[in-house]
Structure 1
Amino acid sequence: MENTPNVSRNDTSPRKRKRDRSRSESITPPPQLPIHQLNNARALVRQALAVAPPRAPSPIQTPDEPADTSDLNPELARIAEEVRRRAVATKNTPEQGGGPELVIIKVRWQPHPLNTAGTKDVWNFKMKRHDTFRYLFEELADMAAVLVDHLVVSHDGKRLFASGTPHGLRIWAEGELEACDQTTWDYVRAQRHQQAPMAAQSSNNSPSPERESDAESEAESTGGDKIKLVLRSAATEDNINLTVRPTTTCGAIVKAFLKAAGLSDRYPVSPRTAQAMPQLMVDGDKMADDMEIGEADLDDGDLVEVVGL
């Protein structure tokens, strides 16, 4: 019985400590302000800080969506409709962008001039206008049985590369290319470089056409103007330039051309072969031998065909 107070003291001690422990006070959020008061407060802050209110985003209208003209007066609505119609009508089509999407490329194979057994094959390829020639080069090399690195493709005498496109060559619907191997390309170019000085020397040494007859001598004495003509034919690879007077006859020009091209021996001047002589052709019309070249109304540097070779 004497130990009872001690037991009671021990039981109440922990409870007393728990009651003496301090507790944090709970925080109650303030009442929410009405929306109009918040807007008024924001306006006062912007006014005090001189901040402009945010701009409302502009409406976005896609180009393909037709404009709503219901709120416009009839005159403005008519103008808006006309503008929209013209915008639709002026959209570029594939043809207006340079031609049709697909083009036909004709490639002519040129064998080596010394290879008598070589054949001049022709292959047709269909490709897209803006695609490169890389696939065409690979297919062409397989058909010609040559390596792609030894393949040479040209257009109008200029070499092409696999990175080119038909659109870059200004090809509309069909185009023509030439192809050969590297050895043939080098050989042909070397022959052309050797023939150019010889042709120029032959042209300088040959008598001018105006000295071929009495009519040209008379024109020279009267001081007529001279014009430069570019003559070409199927029998010559390169063009031949001749300087003549307007009174020079077409027959004299043909004789000078044959002499400059080294073909005089094939067409001797005799009454029996007069009908077989070549003739000049201007704009599809054959010129008589006794006709003066001035009657053709040619300008300096015009191209004239020599037919009948």
Structure 2
Amino acid sequence: MTQEKVNVLIIGSGPAGYTAAIYAARAGLNPVLYQGGQPGGQLTITNDVENYPGYPDGINGPQMMMDFQKQAERFGTSIRNGLVTKVDFSNYPHKAIVDDKHEITANAVIISTGASAKWLNLPSEQRLNGSGVSACAVCDGFFYRGMDVVVVGAGDTACEEASYLSKICNKVYMLVRRDEMRASQIMQKRVLGAKNIEVLWNTETVEVLGEQEVEAVRVKNNQTGEEKDIPAKGFFVAIGHEPNTGIFKGILDMNESGYLITQPGSTKTNIEGVFASGDAQDHIYRQAVTAAGTGCMAALDAERFLAEKELA
């Protein structure tokens, strides 16, 4: 196994990782960033981004991440392909294994591994992802203003998505598999009280219909077996997200869902010299701009940590 010593190791890319790299590189910390299994993160499967400041005409998600990467490289970040498969934070400096064959020792580690949306795993859902299928109403709802859309889910997230969409869309159909929701009572009350939200109980998705973009959603009533097609332009899957934090289990503090826990007002984890940013530690906002913000915070926290260690 090859070995290497670096000053700052950034695990993961996306807005958080690339922003951390920009700040760390400009501070002279010589960061090394491994992009992970999905270089650029979830934005690489997003067609249009219109809610990130600085792009008045919007921007293609993959292009945006390429811009972030180029900016990080411009200041000297070493950006590499590879997946960190194991970490050892039991001693200082910290260690990480890349692709099970390369060991890196780092003075500071910034985690930006993100989170992945949970999907229904329908072929049509994956085929039309970014062409009417979405896992984020705040990100993509604007494109369907005045149209009919479908939301899948029964928890607080689904209720929040449906409520948000009801303010800009003509009609929102909410598909709930059982005869009750898991959502909190206040969220249920908000959904059930909205005039343009129709909850379809005991209903699940059979198929998303459309060739180039979503045109309708075929659903089935679990009690009667009856199927019908709901004309809609948007299909929002709101059954939760899963943080990509498996390799840190038992090492870093995380909540019951696997999101890394950071100290209030910082990106510090329970391990000195390890910082967490982006969706790996944010289960509330999950936006590109907030991820970039915490990436900045992580780099500044790492810089201060290294200065105290007299390693910066």
When normalised by structure 2's length, the TM-score is 0.20
Higher relative contact order (CA 8 A, sep 6+): 2
Greater CA radius of gyration, 1 or 2?
Answer: 1
Bigger share in helix: 1
Structure with the largest fraction of strand: 2
